[in-house]
Structure 1
Amino acid sequence: MLFRLAVGMLLLSSAIASMAEDRLTFITEEYPPFNYATENGVAGFAVSLLTDMMAEAGYEFDPSAVRLLPWARAYETALHVPNTLLFSTTRTTARESLFQWVGPIAPDRVVLLAHRDAPVSLSSIEDITRQGLKVAAIREDIGAQRLLELGIDEEQILYAFSNQSAASMLSAQRVDLWAYGEEVAYWLMEQHGMDPEQVAPVWVLSESALYFAVQKDTDPAIVERLQAALDRVQAKRQAHDHAR
């Protein structure tokens, strides 16, 4: 009897895993080194973590199924389409109730970057308004959202189509500031032939962590299963790093 029950539970668990994998849609953007496009598909630290997490949870997962979209479109999709998993997403108080969360993936510091040849000094966030500064940002990105939350007039925000175009705007001094993740900003500039020494952070907008954001109407059991799998993966990675 116990054997049949155990087999039954195992089959049920496998069925749930298969069903969940079939239902989930995976969406990301260009946010290197966490997630970005290569000639062989989407890669990066978060993609590697997602792959290990899905395997640990018992799901069959193909990284080529991950869709790479502009952030604003990806974010809106994850808000409204059930069974969508979006990454890498900064978890904030304002976003907390909008998604279910699996993570953390990694720490993330979002800053205002200024060009060294046109130094900007901020004693408070209100100086952006007082000085009439223009800020490059990505629509629905945490940088843009934080600026609006802090009361910056949207007319002072120049929305770039991509993070690369935002970097170019600051590099060419077409804007005074760029609101973005600090680590990613420097990585992008170096990868696209811009000198990262040209820019420097002048204000910290947020210090939080990156997560996998799951559309809020998705079955919570799936989210719980993914979180448990991620916890095990991260524990194994930490043990491996300590053993080296």
Structure 2
Amino acid sequence: MKKLVLFAVILNFLSYKIIYAQELIGFTEELPGLIELDGDQLKGPVIEKVRKIFKKAKLKENLKVYPWARSYEMAKREKNYFVFPMAKNSEREKYFNFVGVLFNVKTYLYQKTENIIKIKTLEEAKKYSICVVRNDIRDQYLTEKNFPNLIRFSDQNEAIHALIAKKCDFAICAENIEFIWKKNVKENLNYLVKKSFHVKEINGDRYLSISKQTDPEIIKKLATAMKEINK
């Protein structure tokens, strides 16, 4: 009996060591004001929070910056990969566990300041062309709702500049796009682009998500750590 107990203790210890030794690869993107790349170093309040969660969970992380669509496709097929921030929908829940909310952001339809397109519902926007970020939550939502005129780009910055270049009538972006203008563009884009319609249909919660192939014990550790930090 003592040998069985000792064997169980050793097995649990080894399992813990194996889990802790694994490095989890995290994909994110630059979101000025929240996630920023300073040389080769990631910084910002969201980065600090994610690292705090992993430290609390006693897990190792390796954070990388990639375009959103590439990150999503890579992470959904492999274990020990996580993506943040990510919005939740039924399609993504097939591939990811959503550990917890990191922050909340509103979504808007933007148009050129000189334009006077007025809509009262999102449905009315179907007759206009809309610049979107390929495979992000807004692209997926509008595609599900059968919006016919979606023009896809690799990130929000490209989508907004396409709007300015008159390649579409609207660009659908998270409100934090305005931080990008302030950081990366010398010209004040507030004179060129304006908020046109608040898209309340798209939930603003942004999560830390991890691929479903990952060891459930790792996912549990992260969820517990995040709950403790959010208290």
TM-score, normalized by length of structure 1?
A: 0.81
Give the gaps of 5 or more residues in structure 2: none
Letter aligned with residue 183 of structure 2: Q
Kept in 2: contact 1:103–1:227 (CA 8 A): yes
Letter aligned with residue 127 of structure 1: E
Q: CA deviation at 1:57?
A: 0.9
Q: 1:86 to 1:32 in 2, by over 3 A?
A: same
1:171 and 2:173 are equivalent in the alignment: no
Aligned length: 222
Q: 1:56 to 1:164 in 2, by over 3 A?
A: same
Letter aligned with residue 220 of structure 2: E
| Greater mean alpha carbon deviation, residues 101-110 or residues 194-203 | 194-203
1:191 and 2:199 are equivalent in the alignment: no
Kept in 2: contact 1:101–1:214 (CA 8 A): yes
Q: CA deviation at 1:16?
A: 4.4
Kept in 2: contact 1:111–1:143 (CA 8 A): no
Kept in 1: contact 2:77–2:95 (CA 8 A): no
Q: 1:27 to 1:108 in 2, by over 3 A?
A: same
Give the gaps of 5 or more residues in structure 1: 236-244
2-side partners of 1:18 and 1:99: how far apart?
Answer: 21
> Percentage identity across aligned positions?
21
User: Following superposition of structure 1 onto structure 2, how do residues 110-189 of structure 1 map, counting pairs within 5 Å?
Assistant: 110-130=107-127, 133-153=128-148, 156-182=149-175, 184-189=176-181
1-side partners of 2:12 and 2:213: how far apart?
Answer: 26
Kept in 2: contact 1:111–1:206 (CA 8 A): no
For 1:107, the equivalent position in structure 2 comes to: 104
Q: CA deviation at 1:231?
A: 1.4
The match for 1:212 among 208, 213, 216 is 208
For 1:238, the equivalent position in structure 2 comes to: none
Secondary structure class of the residue paired with 1:169? helix
Kept in 1: contact 2:95–2:212 (CA 8 A): yes
Secondary structure class of the residue paired with 1:137? strand
The match for 2:220 among 211, 218, 224 is 224
1:40-61 deviation per Cα after TM superposition (whole angstroms, max 9, x unaligned): 4222222111110111111244
Whichever structure has more helix as a proportion of its residues is: 1
For 1:50, the equivalent position in structure 2 comes to: 50
Kept in 1: contact 2:87–2:203 (CA 8 A): no
Q: CA deviation at 1:94?
A: 3.7
TM-score, normalized by length of structure 2?
A: 0.85
Letter aligned with residue 177 of structure 2: A
2-side partners of 1:16 and 1:10: how far apart?
Answer: 10
Q: CA deviation at 1:144?
A: 0.8
Kept in 1: contact 2:118–2:196 (CA 8 A): no
The match for 1:96 among 93, 98, 116 is 93
Letter aligned with residue 192 of structure 1: N
1:48-80 deviation per Cα after TM superposition (whole angstroms, max 9, x unaligned): 11110111111244xxx3121111111111211
1-side partners of 2:16 and 2:91: how far apart?
Answer: 36
1-side partners of 2:212 and 2:16: how far apart?
Answer: 23
Letter aligned with residue 228 of structure 1: T
Q: 1:9 to 1:201 in 2, by over 3 A?
A: farther
